[in-house]
Every structure is written in C-alpha cells, then in structure tokens.
Structure 1
Amino acid sequence: MGTLTVQLSERMIRSLHERAQQLGVPLEVLLQAGIYDLLQMPDEHLRRAVEMVLTKNRELYERLR
C-alpha cells in the first residue's frame, strides 16, 4: 500500500472527522471507501464531479485575491 498526501481546508477536515465519528469508523476507512466509490463512477459522472470541485476552488481563490 502507498501513502497519499492531500491538502484540505480545516473545515473539510473537521467535516470528515465528524462524518467518520457518526459512522463509527476510522477516518482512514471513510476516506478509502470514498475513494473506492469515486473510482467506480462512470467517466462522465467523475468528470462532472471534478469540474464541480475545480469550479468551487476557482471561485474560492478569486474571493481570496
């Protein structure tokens, strides 16, 4: 198994911890399940999800400028 480092906002990290706690699973397991689901998506669904995230990031970046 490998290791992957990803930068997330503090808000997103808190939300992930809360969600893992609600489900009663370790954060690592929640993230692995989410990534697995993401990889199972049809290409078009994945493309739309990626575009949505990129748009949100672009909007946030513009507000911070």
Structure 2
Amino acid sequence: MIHIRIIELAMASSIAATFAEGPIIINNSDCVEKSYKNFFKDFKSLGGISNVLIVLAKILK
C-alpha cells in the first residue's frame, strides 16, 4: 500500500507543480512507470512540462 501511495504522490505532485512559480524537483519520479508507464507522455500532451533528469548513481547500478 505504501508503494502505491508514493506513485500517486509523484503523479499528484507533478500536476500540482504546474501552478508553481519556480522549478520543482520530484525525486524518484520514475516510480510512476510501474503503474502508469505513459504518465509523463500524457502529462506533456495535456500541456504539462516535465524534464526528466537521470541521476548518475542510477546509471551505475
């Protein structure tokens, strides 16, 4: 249950960030892919802005 709530929080935070005056960083936002693989693609198609940053530590795993 906790994992699902984290995914929902990442999605909700992405949507809420559209109203922010400055940049918002959502760590581990890739967790969304586990339940909604095209979330950020759909988010962008609806006018949302997201820039995905790949952390070097994840690449080295």
What is the TM-score normalised by the length of structure 2? 0.31
> Looking at CA atoms only, which structure, 1 or 2, has the larger radius of gyration?
1
Which of the pair is proportionally richer in helix? 1
Higher relative contact order (CA 8 A, sep 6+): 2
